[in-house]
Structure 1
Amino acid sequence: MTETPRQRLRELGLTVGHIPTGPLNAITDVAGVAIGHVSLHEGESTHTGATAVLPHGGNLFQDKVPAGFAVLNGFGKFAGSTQIVELGELETPIVLTNTLAVGRAIEALNRYTLSQSGNEKVTSINAVVGETNDSRLNDIRACRPSVEEIEQAIRNAQSGPVPEGAVGAGCGTVAFGLKGGIGTSSRKVKVGKAYYTVGVLVQSNYGGHLMVAGRPYQTKASHDKDGSIVMIVATDAPLCSRNLKRLAERCFGGLARTGAALSNGSGDYALAFSTAESVRRTPERRKDISDAVALSNDVVSPLFEAVIEATEEAILNSLTMAHTVTGYNAGTGKPSTFEAISLDAIRSL
């Protein structure tokens, strides 16, 4: 039987918040941002993959972007985070994958960065990798995705519409006892006399008592509270790394709105970066007193609210766009199935 085509939250008649979205309602509404997936659905034992986020299409190691990192509950692994906290900048694409593939993702980012023209003398790279554990649907011990497969996700990254649901790093994830995955959303806000875009992409793999646009959604697995989520924020607003950290922290507001349990076993991570040319960390700016022009503290609140709304909607899109997956529970050694959220039930909320 053919599964019902999946739809995004707004296609189901529900909206989150009041701020308008970008044209695609995706992180790629921020100009220059590209997303790449490698999705591995092979038999019943392999349901995993990788998702790459590229802030711009140039040499990121040479033209670094300011970034901020935030943790709510740190039960997880986020490679490269300490240097982001220390220096406030991003010098590689961001890769999301499964827990045991973090090392392979670092190697893929190293290979990609070293291969770029202008990096012939580079001897140290701060590869940035986030993860969640997809072992409830995937044989995580089988060492997939490979280094080569992850590098493919990086090199195939594109702008435009972003595939969501059980794709990329979301192939085997579970949220609220339902099939989770990759989701995205965006907001366009006015700050002073200018308009800026905020985009969010999430890898949902956590639990709690699900709320859909403020309405409770009853699931069979309301006891399912542990897990993790990674939330990536992109904006074209010129922000310093300190305010980007504050932007990243607002993801947790959107996360809470979905009914997250925020349990002991949850890894809740957020990373925000700015693509604005005026704050880019170019080689010239890194050699001297920076002439970067950034928004002041007093005007950034609209961006904070935009992140909260976009995060909540991105999470819900990760659920509504995911299809039912039957896989392999590496912890029990038995087959497992996680159903997609019911679109009919959402329409009736």
Structure 2
Amino acid sequence: MLHAPHRLSLRLTAALLGLCALVASAQEAPRARARDLGVAPGIFAPGKYNAITDVAGVRVGQVTLVEGDTVRTGVTAILPHAGNVYRSRVPAALHVGNGFGKFVGSTQVNELGELETPILLTCTLCVWKAADAMAEWMLAKPDMQQVRSLNVVVGETNDGGLNDIRSRPVTADAVRRALETAQSGPVQEGSVGAGTGTVAFGWKGGIGSSSRKLPESLGGWTVGVLVQANFGGVLQVEGAPVGRELDRYAFQNAVAAQENTRGLADDRGDGSVIIVIATDAPLSDRNLRRLASRGMMGLGRTGSSASNGSGDYVLAFSTAESVRRAFDAPQLQTTELANEAMSAVFQASVDAVEESVYNALFMATTTSGNGQTVEAIPLDRVREVLRAHGLAPKQ
């Protein structure tokens, strides 16, 4: 049995190790979003914050959990609007690019074509704890006292390299804080929230976001994206072969006939990604399913092949008032966008997904945890590769 001074010493040591990891991260070279490097995929302009929160009403809350030298994880919450989502539901659809994952609530979303809770993102072995915590949080609301069924929606990626995932460190308090502190405006990116312990393309991954605003002649709609990037492949940035040039890519061992010495670098390109697409365009769940499927096109542009061991999910929803669904409505009378008006929305989503992945990578910081260290992608080297391929990034 440990005496009190020894227990105190262990707690202090764990706290100091966590602090050292944060200090090392803070001393790293400044990070930058994709557009700071001159990387601006597509043709449409971004919204004010170039984030999912450019879609009016959408809010994001994040809780980052860094404890001792083993816990590197967190929670990211996405709220579709300011009201009770159970009472005022938004149409939604989920596309499964590769189903190696745990996406709580997915079957009912696709069956009924709607969301009745916020969306949570976290680590693999914490999805059920997060789901239970959000259910408790919602059922405690004054207007939910008679509710006997609730379809909570929680996605995940596996951060078990940097995080002691088996300890299942996400708590109900962390989930409540993420939900209750959600706000509009700029979205934190990189090694935060559900992206605290993630890895992408062999570099530190994380949370990334982006948006596109369509011209008025195309409806003036806004499309916003948030990604939890934890996947692999052969990284390319607007077509430039960054992964190959930086000598870090999937199947590198087989191709180059060399021994993998980087520990966490995944030679198979495995991992996972959750992509959330929000829009104020009034879309039916059928067209949201079509929109969600386009998310894989944006993912493919970055170099992912949706490998066997990658859980690649895209959830899309519409915040438009004209397609909202009251939970007890006997009939739905909606005004929605026609098929012929979807093409620009598709284009906007593909471009925003691509940029969100770049933002997740470029904003992430070198992270140590659980006996491992994963480096942030070196932005100076990325700039060199872009210049060499004629993309002329900003200085």
TM-score bracket for this pair, using the shorter chain length: over 0.9
2:208 is aligned with 1:166: no
Instruction: Determine the C-alpha separation between the residues in 2 that align with 1:294 and 1:192.
Output: 17
Instruction: Determine the C-alpha separation between the residues in 1 that align with 2:356 and 2:50.
Output: 9
CA contact (8 A) 2:218 2:344 kept: no
TM-superposed CA distance for 1:63, in Å, is 0.3
2:31 is aligned with 1:6: yes
CA contact (8 A) 2:229 2:274 kept: yes
SS of the equivalent of 2:275 reads strand
* Post-superposition CA distance 1:217-246 (Å, at most 9, x none): 134441330010000000000000000111
1:222 pairs with 240, 249, 252, which one? 249
5+ residue gaps, structure 2: 1-23, 251-265, 387-395
User: Which residue type is aligned with residue 337 of structure 1?
Assistant: T
Q: Which has the larger radius of gyration?
A: 2
Q: TM-score, normalised by structure 1?
A: 0.95
2:295 pairs with 246, 251, 268, which one? 251
Equivalent in the alignment of 2:75: 50
Q: TM-score, normalised by structure 2?
A: 0.84
Equivalent in the alignment of 1:321: 363
Alignment of 1:76-155 (within 5 A): 76-155=101-180
TM-superposed CA distance for 1:192, in Å, is 5.2
2:375 is aligned with 1:339: yes
2:275 pairs with 226, 231, 243, which one? 231
CA contact (8 A) 1:177 1:220 kept: no
Instruction: Determine the C-alpha separation between the residues in 2 that align with 1:144 and 1:191.
Output: 46
Aligned residues: 341
* Post-superposition CA distance 1:130-161 (Å, at most 9, x none): 00000010000112111221121111111110
2:310 is aligned with 1:266: yes
SS of the equivalent of 2:151 reads coil
Instruction: Determine the C-alpha separation between the residues in 2 that align with 1:289 and 1:156.
Output: 34
Out of 42-51 and 211-220, give the one that drifted further: 211-220
Instruction: Determine the C-alpha separation between the residues in 2 that align with 1:127 and 1:6.
Output: 34
Instruction: Determine the C-alpha separation between the residues in 2 that align with 1:168 and 1:32.
Output: 20
TM-superposed CA distance for 1:56, in Å, is 0.5
2:224 pairs with 184, 199, 204, which one? 199
CA contact (8 A) 1:59 1:116 kept: no
* Post-superposition CA distance 1:17-59 (Å, at most 9, x none): 1111101000000000000001012232110001000000111
Out of 256-265 and 212-221, give the one that drifted further: 212-221
* Post-superposition CA distance 1:222-272 (Å, at most 9, x none): 133001000000000000000011111110000000000311111110000
1:302 pairs with 334, 344, 365, which one? 344
The structure richer in helix per residue is: 2
* Post-superposition CA distance 1:300-341 (Å, at most 9, x none): 11000100000000001000000000111xxxxxx1111001
CA contact (8 A) 2:34 2:359 kept: yes
User: Which residue type is aligned with residue 249 of structure 2?
Assistant: S
2:268 is aligned with 1:241: no
TM-superposed CA distance for 1:191, in Å, is 6.7
CA contact (8 A) 1:191 1:300 kept: no
Equivalent in the alignment of 1:331: none
Instruction: Determine the C-alpha separation between the residues in 2 that align with 1:287 and 1:49.
Output: 36
- Give aligned-pair identity as a percent: 53
TM-superposed CA distance for 1:287, in Å, is 2.5
The structure richer in strand per residue is: 1
TM-superposed CA distance for 1:193, in Å, is 5.9
TM-superposed CA distance for 1:118, in Å, is 1.3
